[in-house]
Amino acid sequence: MHMDSRLLWGTVEMLILEVVAQGPTYGYEISQTVGERSRGYFDLKEGSLYPALHRMEQQKLLTSFWDEVDGRRRKYYKLSIKGQTTLDEKKAAWKAFSQGVNGVLGAQFAG
Amino acid sequence: MHMDSRLLWGTVEMLILEVVAQGPTYGYEISQTVGERSRGYFDLKEGSLYPALHRMEQQKLLTSFWDEVDGRRRKYYKLSIKGQTTLDEKKAAWKAFSQGVNGVLGAQFAG
DNA sequence: CCCCTTGCCTTGGCCGTCTAGGTATAGAAG
DNA sequence: CTTCTATACCTAGACGGCCAAGGCAAGGGG
């Protein structure tokens, strides 16, 4: 099949990339933002979040730098060019996937 | 989190249930139907399809009977009441999930 | 006879997610 | 002072659905 079969698992990465695309942010805040923007639907677990961040940094989709605010160390992430490209691809893949599902369901799930 | 975290993996089961809900059908045909209705996007692999069918039959979401057409043995599946309920739940979960994703993306992906 | 299509099945690996745990600081509550 | 919560990072190991790749069998066209 022409779809990325790992798309389903990869949704988390897309969500993280999307949030980071809005501007430099860090793990804890990403988790909060994803929760808020999905109206509480998503609750990114640390066991998914941090491994994903590390994975994506290794793949050079993200770059990172440490900062300290109010005595708290934060690891900030920034989107790379490659990360932006990947995000665009993942969004296109998500669109195709959801259209595929809705096609089978014969439904119109308009956001 | 309140969502079924296995929802992403479970999409395949929802698609199968939806097709079977249209009337008794068998594995090979389900695979074809899903492919057609998603405009070629999905191509259900046998390694996903048959285990899923067996799983769902064991969970009593589906009942089955063998039939022979043109010398070909086919294992037909029928949706049970429980299967219909599960399908409804999965569709609702899918709607919530896709709305959650689209909420984070800030997009309107109207099928 | 060979190959493609139809039609069913299973084994074993992959790998993202989650559970559950750890570390550490700041501030509020007791 | 101690305890609890929120903030903030991390990891090891289990889990389990998906897929690649294989097997079996029958029909029909070349």
Hey, where are the domains in chain A?
7-94
Q: What is the pTM of this model?
A: 0.90
- Identify the residue whose Cα has the smallest distance to the C1' of C14: A6
The CATH classification number of A7-94 equals: 1.10.10.10
Check whether A10 has a pLDDT greater than 80.
no
The residue among A43, A4, A10, A101 whose CA lies nearest residue B109 is A101
Residue A62: which H helix or E strand, with range? Answer: strand A62-69
Report yes or no: B47 at the A interface, CB cutoff 8 Å: no
User: Which of A63-67, A79-83, A93-97 is predicted least confidently?
Assistant: A93-97
Are A104 and B15 inside 8 Å of each other by CB? Answer: yes
Q: Which residue of A has its CA nearest to B22?
A: A105
Give CA–CA dist A41/A16, Å, rounded.
15
What's the average model confidence in pLDDT over B25-43? Answer: 94
Residues of A with CB below 8 A from B95's CB?
A: 109
Q: ∠ CA(A61), CA(A26), CA(B6), 5° rounding?
A: 75
Q: Report pLDDT for A4.
A: 54
Q: Report pLDDT for A1.
A: 37
Are A104 and B1 inside 8 Å of each other by CB? Answer: no
Q: pLDDT class for A110, splitting at 50, 70, 90?
A: very low
Are A105 and B91 inside 8 Å of each other by CB? Answer: yes
Check whether B5 has a pLDDT greater than 90.
no
Q: What is the pLDDT of residues A11-34, one digit of tens each?
A: 999 999 999 999 999 999 999 999
In whole angstroms, C10 C1' to B45 CA is 13
Give CA–CA dist A26/A17, Å, rounded.
12
Nucleotide nearest to A7 (CA to C1'): C16
Q: Which residue of B has its CA nearest to A90?
A: B105
Check whether B97 has a pLDDT greater than 60.
yes
Nucleotide nearest to A70 (CA to C1'): C26
Residues of B with CB below 8 A from A52's CB?
A: none
Report yes or no: A18 at the B interface, CB cutoff 8 Å: yes
Q: Which residue of B has its CA nearest to A12?
A: B101
Distance of CA B41 to the CA centre of its chain: 14
